[in-house]
Structure 1
Amino acid sequence: MTTHDTRPGSSGGADTPGPLYGGPDEDYTPEQLAAMPREDLDRLGARYDGVEILHVDPGPEPGSRMEKRAIRQVGLVFTLAGLFAFAFVVVYIGSGWFFPDWQWEVTDRGWSALFTPLLGLTMGLSLFLVGVGLVLYTKKLLPHETAVQDKHDGSHFDRVTTGATLVGGLHNSGLARRKLITRSLGFMGGGLGLMLLMPLGGLINNPNTGNPLGRTAWAEGVRLVRNDGSPIRPGDQEPGSLETVFPAVPGGNRQSDAATMLIRLRPAQLAEARPREGQDDFGYGDYVAYSKICTHAGCPVSLYEQETSRILCPCHQSQFDVTQGAKPVFGPATRSLPQLPITVDDEGYFVARADYPEAVGPTYWNRERI
Structure 2
Amino acid sequence: MTTAETTGGTTAGVLAARQRSAELEELIRKDPGRFRVLTGDRPTGRLHLGHYFGTLHNRVRLQELGVETFLIIADYQVLTDRDVAERLDEYVEDLVLDYLAAGIDPERTTIFAHSAVPALNQLLLPFLSLVSVAELGRNPTVKDEIAQSRQSAVSGLMFTYPAHQAADILFCKANLVPVGQDQLPHLELTRTIARRFNDRYGNGAAPVFPEPDALLSAAPLLLGTDGAKMSKSRGNAVSLAATADETARLIRGAKTDPERHITYDPAARPEVSSLVLLAALCLGRDPRDVAADIGDKGAAALKATVTEAVNEHLAPIRDRRARYAQDLGYVRRILRDGNEIANEVAQATLDDVRAAMKTLY
Q: Greater helix percent: which structure?
A: 2
Q: Would the TM-score normalized by the shorter structure come out above 0.5?
A: no
What TM-score do the two structures reach when normalised by structure 1?
Answer: 0.19
Larger Rg: 1
Q: Structure with the greater relative contact order (CA < 8 A, sep ≥ 6): 1 or 2?
A: 2
What TM-score do the two structures reach when normalised by structure 2?
Answer: 0.19
